Amino acid sequence: MKYDVSTGHVTVLLRNLGFLTDVTLSGDGSVVLVSEATRSQLAQLWLMGARANTAEVVLSDVVEPDNIRRDAGSGDLFIAARRRRVGLGQLSAARDDSDLESICLRLQREQNVRETPSFEVNLVLGSERISECQGSGLDVYVTSMSARYIRIYRR
């Protein structure tokens, strides 16, 4: 939803969403990324420009994408998610937890508002479920809601 402070008017931007885990605004404010856990997808809603008020799924081959965080220095986005362990470089939606691995995806700043963003698997973390990954400089910080730790990975 969008709220206009000057008029008090509320506009619904997207309907019928799955369980949302995060919403993040692009660096230039033209796009909102929406992480839907139950649908295992990341949607992109254009707020400005020729595609304003249109949405599309930009990532659907992960399982339960979670929090989206921005590296304050570079502007890159980091997304905690899971994927099914299959062949090298292949991703597919999983139906059970037996062969899932946690991953941290990175979307480079300059791709945040491109027509079709390209996600890079930044880290593969094994079977332990992560809820958040945050990049900062050359480091990636990872944490989980189910465990009490913060891990630091050097890129």
pLDDT value for 28? 79
pTM of the prediction?
0.74
Q: Any idea which residue has 């999983």 for tokens?
A: 94
Which CATH number belongs to the domain containing residue 85 in this structure? 2.120.10.30
Our CA angle for 8, 33, 82, nearest 5°, is 140
DSSP 63: B
Give the DSSP H/E element, type plus range, for residue 3: strand 2-4
Task: Please state, in angstroms and rounded to a whole number, the distance separating the CA atoms of residues 81 and 94.
Answer: 12
pLDDT over threshold 70, residue 102: yes
Residue 82 CA neighbour count, 13 Å, CB half: 23
pLDDT value for 10? 95
Residue 26, domain extent: 2-154
Task: State the pLDDT confidence band at 9, using cuts at 50, 70 and 90.
Answer: very high
Task: State the pLDDT confidence band at 8, using cuts at 50, 70 and 90.
Answer: very high
pLDDT over threshold 90, residue 7: yes
pLDDT over threshold 60, residue 95: no
Domain count, the chain: 1
Task: State the pLDDT confidence band at 96, using cuts at 50, 70 and 90.
Answer: low
